[in-house]
Amino acid sequence: MNKAARSLFLVLLTLRVPASLPAAPAQKTAPNTLGFEFQEHRLRNGLRVILSVDGSLPLVTVAVAYGAGTMREKPGQEGLAYLLENLMFQGSENVGPLQHVGFVQKVGGDLNATTTLDRALFYQTLPSNYLGLALWLESDRMKSLAITPTAIEKTRADLLKENRDRLASDPYLESFALFDSLLYPDFPYGHPLIGAGIEMRGLTESDVLTFHRTYYVPDNAVLCIVGNIDVARTRELVARYFDSIPPGMDIPAPPLPDFRQENEVVVRGSGVPASVAGFHLGYRFTPLQTGDAHSLKILEYLLLKGKTSRLMDRLLNRDRTAQHFSGTLEDRRGVLALKIFCLNNNAVMVERSEKAVLSEIDRLRTNPVSPAEMAKAKRLFKLDYLRSQSTNLGRALFLIDAAFSGKPMNALGGELDKYMRVDPSALFSLVIRHFNPRNRVILELGQR
């Protein structure tokens, strides 16, 4: 550790925030149905700050999300957002390579990072009396990340090796990337995090510096702090460490989706190596009407969540045509897709499983969902919804998701009620409008 970093670290230790301080009243309070309170404000440089108090444990989660996901890459730059995420751990003005990790772990904390379509997310959970340490670390790399040719080359080499190892160990990983490119057929929404790594090899230092200078700026970021904090003291610390960081200039607006598909897309014999037969099947939903997103989430639970859900029960228990079956509702910045992945013994079972999936969806057009089945799906969803917010980290990610969704934050308290009000008629309307061939993509593994 250099002298400047050691001195700052020692100062921070003396500025530890007492975990037992009482929380100041929140200035912006979510309705009681949310189950917790939060407040938000912006600094002069545009940084959006969200605070939520939870004194049940002497811990705090500090999360920073930048609008710097893969959708910001240009053709030929695949892997750039992921490279920047990892460069964020390679040192800054006062912190050496990987010292951020060491500082957090030294005080008993845990941390991680991830890159998605619309954001690069960094988070750590640590004892709440080390809140100042986490804020200093995040602010230091926000304002003074050390991007050097050596750091770029080392990080790139490490990521390419990890990617080769993943591709070699997972026989289906390549098929997931191909399926996404078919389901989201425009570049910003459909290209993979890194792919085969060809484009990452060609990234220049100028590419990296430009991307960082454009998107890793306070007015393109959300800072969320959840845990055993005193709000007034936390606001002081946030202002101390972040307020002087200059804002960005001319941040481009996120690209809008442009999907033009007139008919069903079916790809058989994709050429993707696979040890057994199987398929991906998905429906893309855009544009959405008011209430569609809530109806789709309940439909996801009805079809896919739990052993007794319609598709799980039919393919794995009753028909027994599948060795493995999984599915999820995915949200890519307001473009939703229901995605299914199935593995089978042979091509005959692939065909039977595909027909079973489509028949269950068609059944939604003709037979209303019973009150009992609707209630079961809602119970499972509500349990997962509340459980996801039961930890500091879960709540922080929930609040960041809400901030990036563009929805009014003061309406979050009514979200659960909207899911609970979904009825069979809403599901019927949804299926009629969206579950049609022009929104459907099927990718079969291997030859038929």
Which 8-state DSSP code applies to residue 368?
A: P
Q: Are strands 48-53 and 221-227 parallel, antiparallel or unpaired?
A: parallel
What does the angle CA 72 – CA 76 – CA 77 come to, to the nearest 5 degrees? 45
Tell me the per-residue pLDDT of 113-159, one tens digit each, with 9 for 90 and over. Answer: 999 999 999 999 999 999 999 999 999 999 999 999 999 999 999 99
pLDDT surpasses 70 at 22: no
Give me 340's structure tokens: 């299914």
pLDDT at 33: 65
pLDDT surpasses 70 at 402: yes
Sketch out the chain's domains with CATH numbers.
3-242 (3.30.830.10), 265-445 (3.30.830.10)
pLDDT at 267: 87
Task: Please tell me the number of Cα atoms within 13 Å of 277 on its side-chain side.
Answer: 17
pLDDT surpasses 50 at 20: no
Residue 272 pLDDT class (50, 70, 90 cuts): low
- Least confident stretch, 207-216, 258-267, 338-347, 408-417: 258-267
In terms of phi and psi (left: phi > 0; alpha: psi -120 to 50; beta: otherwise), the region of 334 is left
Reported pTM: 0.90
Tell me the per-residue pLDDT of 283-297, one tens digit each, with 9 for 90 and over. Answer: 999 889 999 999 999
pLDDT at 331: 95
Residue 12 pLDDT class (50, 70, 90 cuts): very low
Average pLDDT, the chain: 90
pLDDT surpasses 80 at 348: yes
pLDDT at 276: 82
Give me 185's structure tokens: 């057929």
Give the span between the Cα atoms of 179 and 347, in whole angstroms.
Answer: 19
Exposure string of 196-227, with b = 16+ CB inside 10 Å and e = fewer, is bbebbeebeeebbeebbebbbbbbbbbbbbbb
Q: How far are the Cα atoms of 182, 192, 262, 274 from residue 186, in angstroms, in the given order?
A: 9, 12, 15, 26
Q: For residue 416, how many other CB atoms are within 10 A of its CB?
A: 17
Q: How far are the Cα atoms of 23, 39, 59, 61, 206 from residue 231, in angstroms, in the given order?
A: 6, 9, 14, 14, 40
Q: For residue 259, how many other CB atoms are within 10 A of its CB?
A: 15
Residue 271 pLDDT class (50, 70, 90 cuts): low
What is the full DSSP assignment across 129-170? GGHHHHHHHHHHHHHHB---HHHHHHHHHHHHHHHHHHHHH-
Contact 72, 60 (CB under 8 A): no
Give the span between the Cα atoms of 223 and 137, in whole angstroms.
Answer: 13
**Residue 171 C-alpha from the chain's centroid:** 24
pLDDT surpasses 60 at 359: yes
Give me 255's structure tokens: 């690209």
pLDDT surpasses 50 at 300: yes
What is the rounded (10 degree) CA torsion for 8, 64, 203, 197?
A: 120
